[in-house]
Amino acid sequence: MRFSAFLVVLALMLFTTLSVTAAAEEEVTLSNTYYVPLTPGFVTNYGGPGRLKYVRIDMTLMVEGLESQAVLEQQLPLVRNTVVLILTRQNENNVVTPNGQERIRQQLLQALNEALTREVGQPLLAEVLFTNFIYQN
């Protein structure tokens, strides 16, 4: 009798474990998000005339879908050119403050999506992510 009770408890534990595992597996979905790092990073001057000031920014672009990633990778020269033009127009306040850095990120997202729309007919970027942001003023 003890052995059969032990088997019942063991079977219940196994069933519960399998049910929890199956439920957890159902919740897992594959993401359709892809990341395209822009390497090498960007080093450029900013701030206009006077003493030279430099910024170094490493960034990754986030897109939705494998097709968008492939199109973006074909357009990397356009992307890099647009990034450089936006970065060189920045003033010191944008570069050295967190709110300014967020403005730069938003400017890049908007300008890149506009350039990509002109070139391929649709905006591709979901986000611009800074992975490194260093400045010298």
Checking if the pLDDT of 20 tops 50, the result is: no
Structure token pair of residue 133: 């942001």
pLDDT tens column, 54-63: 999 999 999 9
Checking if the pLDDT of 29 tops 90, the result is: no
Residue at token pair 């800074």: 130
Q: What is the pLDDT of residue 23?
A: 47
Whether residue 78 contacts residue 115, with contact meaning beta carbons closer than 8 Å, is answered with yes
Share above pLDDT 70 across residues of the chain, in percent, rounded to a whole number: 79
Whether residue 57 contacts residue 130, with contact meaning beta carbons closer than 8 Å, is answered with yes
Q: What is the pLDDT of residue 119?
A: 97
d(C-alpha 83, C-alpha 102), whole Å = 15
Q: What is the pLDDT of residue 48?
A: 76
Checking if the pLDDT of 86 tops 90, the result is: yes
pLDDT classification of 72: cutoffs 50, 70, 90: very high
DSSP 3-state of 78: helix
Checking if the pLDDT of 66 tops 60, the result is: yes
What's the burial of 1, exposed, middle or buried (CB within 10 Å: 0-12/13-18/19+)? exposed
Mean pLDDT of 33-43: 97
Q: Higher-confidence residue: 75 or 28?
A: 75
Peptide bond into 123 cis (omega under 30): no
In sequence order, what are the residues at sequence separation of 6 or more whose Cβ sits closer than 8 angstroms to the Cβ of residue 22? none
Q: What is the pLDDT of residue 78?
A: 98
Whether residue 72 contacts residue 112, with contact meaning beta carbons closer than 8 Å, is answered with no
Q: What is the pLDDT of residue 4?
A: 61
d(C-alpha 77, C-alpha 60), whole Å = 15
What's the burial of 71, exposed, middle or buried (CB within 10 Å: 0-12/13-18/19+)? middle
